[in-house]
Amino acid sequence: MQWLDALIQGVLLGGMYAQYALGMALMFGVMRIVNVSHGDLVILLSLIGISIAGAWGLGPFTVMAALVPLAVAMGWLLQKALLNKVVGDDPLPSLIATFGLSLALQNLMLQIWSANSRSLPGGGLESRSVEIGGIYVGLLPIIVLVFATGLTWGLDLMLKRTRFGRSLRAASADVEAAAMTGINPKGVYAFATAIAVGILGFAAVFQSLRSTVAPADGGAQLIYAFEAVIIGGMGSIWGAFLGSMVLGITQAIGFRINPGFGVLAGHLVFLLVLAMRPQGLSGKG
């Protein structure tokens, strides 16, 4: 029973990681933009959400309704003001630019919110649970998994079935050829980054509900998102979801083996996949 419980908890944890990974899958896996500030954006949005809730006494889902449009605007501005100037075949300029942005965001957050940890009050949602076959499962992780599945399905459908998705894939494959067909690659990239950061708005609310956040916490979210995308396979939205599940389940089982082994187990599986199947579990090769 304990291993079944570990499996269930791992899937639910994977739902949280999937919300980190979807934006990374879109930017890194599809557009080949290395956004080192990915995790810091999650923490920044979390802290903004906590401040909004504290100032107006709003519930978590009302905060989410305000935070997601703000995140979309931040993503669009990030691409327009910074990343469009450094994007190209060489990923190094975007890596350097977003590394600098990461440091700036961390220092900005320290100045505004200090180094103290804080969380978003959920009105008891974060502590509620439901019983499934003798196993108690948290209600919040279930909601997180439902949102993650819906976001994955919607993003994958958008990339495959819409004109924007076709334009993005064309611009990612060959910018000059896409421009010759009438596509505005920089405009498409700005919209894609707006979506990627917008998804982090959902992740920010759930992250600040399930645990405390502090300005220095962005690195962990970045690593988990990166590992999930690589495990699942570059360029695949459902692959990122699969990678998140693998990472979450591995960590949950690792925690059951030894409380200090969980995070390390996830890193070891990432290295194993990278060594044995570098194209990822869903990649072709």
Sign of CA dihedral 63, 66, 68, 71: negative
Quickly state the pLDDT bin for 38 (edges 50, 70, 90).
Answer: very high
Q: Which helix (H) or strand (E) holds 231?
A: helix 218-232
Question: ∠149-126-25 over CA atoms, to 5°?
Answer: 30
Identify any residues that bridge with 135 across adjacent strands, giving them in sequence order: 132
Residue 48 scores a pLDDT above 70: yes
Distances 270 to 182, 193, 261 between C-alpha atoms, Å:
40, 26, 14
Evaluate if residue 260 carries a pLDDT over 90.
no
The answer to whether the CB of 276 falls within 8 A of the CB of 232 is no
Q: How far apart are CA 186 and CA 192, in angstroms?
A: 10
Q: What is the pTM of this model?
A: 0.94
Give the helix/strand (H/E) hosting 249.
Answer: helix 237-257
DSSP letter string, 163-186: HHHHHHHHHHH-HHHHHHTT--HH
Q: Which residues of 241-276 are buried (b: 16+ CB within 10 A; e: fewer)?
A: bbbbbbbbbbbbbbbbeeeeebbebbbebbeebeee
Whether pLDDT at 1 is above 80: no
pLDDT at 127: 84
Q: What is the pLDDT averaged over residues 91-120? A: 92
Task: For residues 116-129, give the mean pLDDT.
Answer: 89
Question: Is the Cβ–Cβ distance between 12 and 147 less than 8 Å?
Answer: no
Distance CA 117, CA 103 (A): 18
- Domains assigned to the chain: 2-276 (1.10.3470)
Q: What is the pLDDT of residue 203?
A: 96
Are the beta carbons of 67 and 204 closer than 8 angstroms? yes
What's the number of CA atoms in the CB half-sphere (13 Å) around residue 239?
21
Q: Tell me, what's the pLDDT at 183?
A: 85
Q: How confident is the model at residue 132 (pLDDT cuts 50, 70, 90)?
A: confident
